[in-house]
Amino acid sequence: MPTLSPSSRLVLATIAVALLALVLTRSVSTLLTSGATEPSDQPIAISTQANQPSPTNQSEAPRSTVVPVGSGACQPTDQDGYVYNPGRLEVVVPCLYVTGIVAAVRTEADGDLHILLDVDPPYAYLLRPANQGEELGDLVVEPVCVGSVTQTDAEGVCAADPDPLAPPFPVVGERVWMEGRYVFDLEHSGWAELHPLYRWGDQG
């Protein structure tokens, strides 16, 4: 076997190094462009509506993440000003649209109606653990100053209301849509309400 001169060995070594460098460069380029070895640092878009915690495992209803469904045209009315002792309510969303079936209607001493709405599934995320029990797992909805007022601290407020929501009001078993201010009632363990109710309609 012929012996290579030192200069020939140097040429061959140079070629081998160049080929190795070329192979390594192409491999690294392929990995970087495919993103196979690097986790993405971009935020993942999550649908707020679809990922709300269920009423059975949430300790606190969503606040800044609440996304009203179908409420683009929902507008408050002047009835906010006729809620007695307004500090007892924590306002979460100024105007919210919901649908469901009326489960109960009660008359309250403060002149409000106490409507329990069995909300449709897309709105179940609005409920809180405190809505169980006395509220039957339903959303509380209150049109204000629409009845006889016998509660002393509500008398003056309702007497000043020039245009409470006019009857008729929904009845048990009726399928309805409703719009109102979404709040937590701090005097009742923070259960969720539409209070006051701004408007409603029959869905047939």
Query: Is residue 138 in some structural domain?
Result: yes
Question: Would you give the distance in Å from CA 40 to the centre of its chain?
Answer: 27
- SS3 call for 98: strand
Q: Which residues pair with 91 in a beta bridge?
A: 183
Q: Which of 36-40, 154-158, 181-185 has the lowest mean pLDDT?
A: 36-40
Query: Is residue 46 in some structural domain?
Result: no
Residue environment code for 6-38, b if the CB has 16+ CB neighbours within 10 A, otherwise e? eeeeeeeeeeeeeeeeeeeeeeeeeeeeeeeee
Q: How far is CA 143 from CA 67, 83, 103, 180, in A?
A: 23, 10, 16, 9
Query: Is residue 25 in some structural domain?
Result: no
Reported as a pLDDT band with limits 50, 70 and 90, residue 71 is very low
Query: Is residue 58 in some structural domain?
Result: no
Residue 92: predicted pLDDT: 96
Q: pLDDT exceeding 70 applies to what percent of the chain? A: 65
* Owning domain of residue 159: 78-202
Handedness of CA 95, 72, 120, 147 (dihedral sign): positive
Query: Is residue 35 in some structural domain?
Result: no
Q: Is 202 exposed, middle or buried (0-12, 13-18, 19+ CB in 10 A)?
A: exposed
Residue 5: predicted pLDDT: 64
Question: What is the average pLDDT score of the chain?
Answer: 77
Per the structure, how many domains does the chain have? 1
Residue 50: predicted pLDDT: 32
Query: Is residue 110 in some structural domain?
Result: yes
What CA–CA distance (Å, rounded) separates 95 from 180? Answer: 5
CATH number at residue 154: 2.40.50
Residue 104 tokens read as 């109960």
Query: Is residue 87 in some structural domain?
Result: yes
Residue 113: predicted pLDDT: 94
Query: Is residue 69 in some structural domain?
Result: no
| pTM of the predicted model as reported, rounded to 2 decimal places | 0.66
